[in-house]
Structure 1
Amino acid sequence: MNVLIVHESMFGNTRQIASAIAEGVRAGTTPGGEVRVVHVDDAPTAIGDDVDLLLVGGPTHGLSMTRPQTREDATSKGAAPAREGVREWIAEVTPRRGLPVVTFDTRVHVKLLPGSAANAAAKALRHRGFDGAERGETFWVEGVAGPVLEGELERAREWGATLATRVSHGVA
């Protein structure tokens, strides 16, 4: 099984989660497949036919996917600058009907705070033509810059293994 994980990460938290998900996917599949983790700045705008599962993740900024203004604000707080975010990538990527796509996000753990980059990304991907797009998991970070909360990397690994099992059994 070949999996492409496209992520946006400015403080490194979402990158850590994407890498942990990749570890879980690798552990949950039979040998021979490829699991690639790619930052959105370097992500392809055409998803090859060899990709069996696409995962898309990013941080929740301002209750949704990042925007140029929220990325600029994050950069002023010490984040690594990015050329674009998941929002812009989704607007450019060529849709592939029938491809299982699952989104994920990172968020500050604040009780009853609404909004989710994963939810917004899944909706945008479906609107773009990825009919198999669904909202996945939220992973929690402490504060804007992180770190990832204790136990979240393990939970990401477990989720990745579960996704691998679902796709290999044709349930995705």
Structure 2
Amino acid sequence: MRIVIVYESMFGGTEKVAEAIAEGISVSVPAETVNVDDAPKDLDGVDLLVVGGPTHVHGMSRAATRKSAADQVCHATRSHTGLREWLDALGPVPDGLPVAAFDTRADKPRVLTGAASLGAAKRLRRLGCRVVAPAESFFVGTEPVDAGPRPGELARANAWGAALGAALRRTTV
């Protein structure tokens, strides 16, 4: 069984969340994390795809928002390509591929921040995928801008991953 978690991460927070999700899934089924820069364009043989990225201006990042984020720090960003661009560049996706989406965002009401996971899930449905879990947000600190996941969020991501893995195992056994 092949579980792939594709993430976009500017400062490392989303990467840490993706790794925590992978650890949770791996309790049931091995999972691999892949930076969107290196993500496969062919998803044949993938049994569950999980995608995640930071929320920028109420949704998935764009080239301009990634540049703006990069300009706020003195170090290189983790991803150079966006989840939006990767999803748009995918070839045919196996019909009904099970998928789930997550994002990282500021800990404020979603009406104020938006959620990149909602747009990702919508694009995946349009590609013919089957969303198997509601889109999930994990909170990151904003002071400093690259503060990383808020306390407790990695444990929550791990639990979300464990629930995904357990559900997948129940449906394939």
TM-score of the two chains, using structure 2 as the length reference: 0.89
Matches of 1:21 and 1:113, distance apart in 2: 25
d(CA) in 2 for partners of 1:56 and 1:134? 12
- String of CA shifts for 1:29-86, please: whole Å, max 9, x gaps: 1xxx53110000000001122x211000000000000000000001101251633100
Question: SS where residue 165 of structure 1 aligns?
Answer: helix
SS at match of 1:168: helix
Q: Pick the aligned partner of 1:91 from 84, 88, 93.
A: 88
Note if 1:10 corresponds to 2:10: yes
Name which of 50, 65, 68 aligns with 1:73.
68
Aligned mates of 1:107, 1:138 — CA distance in 2: 7
> Could you say what secondary structure the match of 1:113 adopts?
helix
Q: Name the structure 2 match of 1:64.
A: 59
Give the root-mean-square deviation of aligned CA atoms. Answer: 1.8
5 Å-filtered alignment, 1:3-152, equals: 3-27=3-27, 29=28, 33-49=29-45, 51-78=46-73, 80=77, 82-94=79-91, 95-111=93-109, 112-132=111-131, 135-143=134-142, 144-152=145-153
Q: Is the 8 A contact 1:59 1:106 kept in 2?
A: yes
In structure 1, list runs of 5 or more residues that go unmatched. none
Amino acid at match of 2:81: E
| Distance 1:134-1:45 versus aligned 2 partners, 3 A rule | farther
CA-CA distance at 1:2 after TM superposition: 2.0
Query: Does the C-alpha gap of structure 1 residues 8 and 130 become closer, same or farther in structure 2, counting only changes over 3 Å?
Result: same
Any conservation in 2 of the 1:105–1:138 contact (CA below 8 Å)? yes
CA distance in 1, matches of 2:133, 2:24: 19
126-135 or 113-122: bigger deviation: 126-135
SS of residue paired to 2:136? strand
Q: 1:102 to 1:81 in 2, by over 3 A?
A: closer
Give the direction of change, closer, same or farther, for the CA distance of 1:87–1:135 in structure 2 (3 Å limit). farther
Decide whether the 8 Å contact of 1:75 with 1:81 is kept in 2: no
Report the number of matched residues. 166
Q: Could you tell me the percent identity over the aligned residues? A: 43
Structure 1 residues 82 and 15, CA, compared in 2 at 3 Å: closer, same or farther? Answer: closer
1: CA distance between counterparts of 2:160 and 2:133? 14
